Structure 1
Amino acid sequence: MANPLLGTLIHAIGGVAASTCYVPYQKVKKWSWDSYWLVQASFAWFIFPFLIGFLTVPNLMDVFRDASSDVLINATLLGAIYGFGGMCFGFAIRHIGYSLTYTISIGISAILGTIVPLIMHGELSQKFNGPGGYTIFFGMGLALLGIIACGVAGYRKEKDLKKSNANSAEPLTFNMKKGLTLTLIAGVLSAVFGISLEVGAPVAEIAGTYGAGNFEGNANLILSTGGAFITNFIWFTVVGIKKGTLKEIIDVKSIGKKHFYLNLGMSILSGALWYGQFFFYGIGHVQMGAYKFASWVLHMSMLIFFSYIVGIVMKEWKQVSRRTNLTLIIALITLVISFIIMAYGSKLGTDISSSL
């Protein structure tokens, strides 16, 4: 039996996992970013999805056998496209930090992840003019304003850091133009991941008939993450060969056992946290019952909230002016309000639809 309150709490757990998944990189030493990314991607998008999928979905191979080949192929291809977004997201964090990367990219993802599935099913006009439609689209417009305000806060942060030079490390790496470009790409392609899950939904339904229950989403998640893994594995393997960094992953002697196992452990932890966000998303989505339409927006809003908490902990905004902090706070509040409005609009629509 569905329990929307429990579903919301489960989405919150997924939000915590997602907002902290790249924090372990801070402890990685004597490995290049490429080596770290290749290892964490292997666990996030290949090892954990398949391992947990086999453990939680009965007769998993039969589920894939029964599914349409078009669904399998299209969901995997969309996951592969998202794979480039995952790369951009990781690089963006290095240029503009956790708070801005998560806020802007996930804000865009929340909007597109809501609109595109409606277009795919030919329901955009119907939903816009139906119960809750105007409320949802008003919330989307408000979210766009919040995203723009985040960009303004980012440029002000860059200016503040250059003036004060109080943090010797950050001014050398903070690059709003490059980071914003990467973040916008990551946001659009993050929505593609949501679309991939939507395309693969029939696979989850088949898994449900085999008795997967709350874990039915682990079946189609394998397709989406598998596609992302293929893209990243090819890209970073080629890059690793060209740069000569690929050997870092197996060369224990050069960096020492202590650093090697620490790096490996932190990379696996990153992968586990990234996978965890959609593991809990799948469970929370099932629990939302009639409110499933709000799942993506709800999950994305959780990511933004907790990513800002991470940004505070990481002291990303410690050296900026009050004006810059105020701008970011206003932007975040605007985004949170927009997500609440969109979720409320979704609730109106699903409530009325379920009563018909």
Structure 2
Amino acid sequence: MNSNFTGIVLALAGGVLVGNCMLPLKKIRTWPWECTWLVFSLVSLVFVPCLIAALAVPAWPGIYASLPFSALLPSLLFGFGWGIAQVLFGISVVRLGMALAFTIIVGLGTVFGTLVPLFVLHKGDLANGNAEMLVAGCGLMIFGVALSGYAGKLREHPQRATEHDYRSGLGIAILSGVLSSMLNLSLAFGSPISQMAVRNGASTSTAVFAVWPVALAGGLVPNLAYAVYLLCKNKSWGKLMHTVQDAFLSLLMGLLWIGAVAIYGLSTRYLGRLGDSAGWAIYQIAMILTATTGGIVVGEWKVASRRSLAVLASGVFILILATVATAVSTR
């Protein structure tokens, strides 16, 4: 099987998984959000990444001691920035609504997560046709996301938000969108870690798993801090001892999310020189298409107007074209 095709399939599979990872949240009945997020964060950002790294990377975690702290710092800091984005996302949704917040955050996250590695790490490739096709695919994706977001806004009831809430929510969403790209940047700039893993016996396809514990440790800090703050504020620690079903669903959320991230990380190793940019775009597009399809399946668009459905269909079509353009850029 062609390696580029393998990478495309893996990036699509990761996007499908992450697009579904929050579905268990709809079934949680007793636990408040902070209980679920605590379990989700510990499973997805600590336990599973460390387990995968221990199984896939020889001499892990000893390889970190062989590196200067400056080699670990970019992935750690980018991961911390992404963790802040996760917290800000929830706030922006409350103030702007899901459609507008999702459009801004995913759009900006895609632009920065795709183009920053391209312009910083692959300057010599900017003049070739693949890079131009990747930029075109990114542009199509932004257009498709904007149409999807507009369709969602048409579907939603008008919100009674003050001008202050709207402006502050817009600022928070923009900041969240920029920071959300840092999950990809933590991987793209983690090459010293993966190179050390290869020197210690890891394969080039699995060496990326040595980067994730560092990057996600940075992301754990704001996520864990916010969950603990809410647990203390709402005095909900005691609820963690009840409801096995809610605990299982929270665990499942974490497994789906980190599974998606791990598969995406693998995909970048099969997509050629522009893999860390093209893979991110394909991953994001698949996530949006999956989330949109899921919303249709569960009836979120059942009472939508014909106009909003037409705009949604146009957005989905543009996103499919963006997927094709981005896939072509990996040749």
Class of the TM-score when normalised by the shorter of the 2 chains: 0.7 to 0.9
Following superposition, the deviation at residue 269 of structure 1 comes to 0.4
Q: Which residue of 1 aligns with 2:314?
A: 330
Out of 261, 280, 284, which is 2:244 matched to?
A: 261
SS of equivalent residue, structure 2 residue 201: coil
| Conserved 8 A contact 2:119-2:126 | no
Following superposition, the deviation at residue 2 of structure 1 comes to 6.9
Q: Which residues of structure 1 form unaligned runs of 5+? A: 163-170, 253-259, 352-356
Separation of aligned partners in 1, 2:147 and 2:170: 13
Amino acid of the structure 2 residue aligned with 1:281: Y
Residues 184 and 343 (structure 1 numbering): CA distance in 2 closer, same or farther, change over 3 Å?
farther
Q: Which residue of 1 aligns with 2:300?
A: 316
Amino acid of the structure 1 residue aligned with 2:298: M
Residues 4 and 132 (structure 1 numbering): CA distance in 2 closer, same or farther, change over 3 Å?
closer
Q: Which residue of 2 aligns with 1:165?
A: none
Superposed CA offset, 1:288-331 (max 9, x none): 34552522222222212222221122221111111101111112
Greater Cα shift, 84-93 or 142-151: 84-93
Per the normalisation by structure 2, the TM-score is 0.86
Separation of aligned partners in 1, 2:130 and 2:11: 22
Q: Which residue of 2 aligns with 1:79?
A: 79
2:282 is equivalent to residue 298 of structure 1: yes
Separation of aligned partners in 1, 2:315 and 2:172: 20
Superposed CA offset, 1:185-241 (max 9, x none): 443222111111112122112212223223211110111111111111112212221
Q: Which residue of 2 aligns with 1:216?
A: 207
Following superposition, the deviation at residue 277 of structure 1 comes to 0.8
Amino acid of the structure 2 residue aligned with 1:227: G
Separation of aligned partners in 1, 2:118 and 2:272: 18
Amino acid of the structure 2 residue aligned with 1:325: L
Residues 134 and 3 (structure 1 numbering): CA distance in 2 closer, same or farther, change over 3 Å?
closer
Following superposition, the deviation at residue 286 of structure 1 comes to 2.0
Residues 42 and 179 (structure 1 numbering): CA distance in 2 closer, same or farther, change over 3 Å?
farther
Q: Which residue of 2 aligns with 1:201?
A: 191
Separation of aligned partners in 2, 1:147 and 1:93: 16
SS of equivalent residue, structure 2 residue 129: coil
SS of equivalent residue, structure 1 residue 320: coil
Q: Which residue of 2 aligns with 1:277?
A: 260
| Conserved 8 A contact 2:133-2:325 | yes
Q: Which residue of 2 aligns with 1:141?
A: 139
Separation of aligned partners in 2, 1:198 and 1:328: 32
Q: Which residue of 2 aligns with 1:67?
A: 67
| Conserved 8 A contact 1:150-1:328 | yes
Amino acid of the structure 1 residue aligned with 2:202: A
| Conserved 8 A contact 2:78-2:185 | yes
Higher helix share: 1
Separation of aligned partners in 2, 1:76 and 1:130: 32
Following superposition, the deviation at residue 53 of structure 1 comes to 1.3
Separation of aligned partners in 1, 2:93 and 2:43: 20
Amino acid of the structure 1 residue aligned with 2:197: A
2:218 is equivalent to residue 227 of structure 1: yes
| Conserved 8 A contact 2:100-2:153 | no
SS of equivalent residue, structure 2 residue 211: helix
Residues 296 and 193 (structure 1 numbering): CA distance in 2 closer, same or farther, change over 3 Å?
same
Following superposition, the deviation at residue 342 of structure 1 comes to 3.5
Following superposition, the deviation at residue 103 of structure 1 comes to 6.1
Separation of aligned partners in 1, 2:127 and 2:10: 31
| Conserved 8 A contact 1:15-1:299 | yes
Residues 314 and 67 (structure 1 numbering): CA distance in 2 closer, same or farther, change over 3 Å?
farther
Residues 304 and 56 (structure 1 numbering): CA distance in 2 closer, same or farther, change over 3 Å?
same
Q: Which residue of 2 aligns with 1:256?
A: none
Following superposition, the deviation at residue 44 of structure 1 comes to 0.8
Q: Which residue of 2 aligns with 1:129?
A: 127
| Conserved 8 A contact 1:136-1:342 | yes
State the Cα RMSD in Å: 2.9
Residues 134 and 288 (structure 1 numbering): CA distance in 2 closer, same or farther, change over 3 Å?
closer
Greater Cα shift, 20-29 or 200-209: 200-209
SS of equivalent residue, structure 2 residue 299: coil
Residues 106 and 200 (structure 1 numbering): CA distance in 2 closer, same or farther, change over 3 Å?
same
SS of equivalent residue, structure 2 residue 52: helix
Separation of aligned partners in 2, 1:192 and 1:71: 16
Following superposition, the deviation at residue 261 of structure 1 comes to 0.6
Q: Which residue of 2 aligns with 1:25?
A: 25
2:229 is equivalent to residue 238 of structure 1: yes
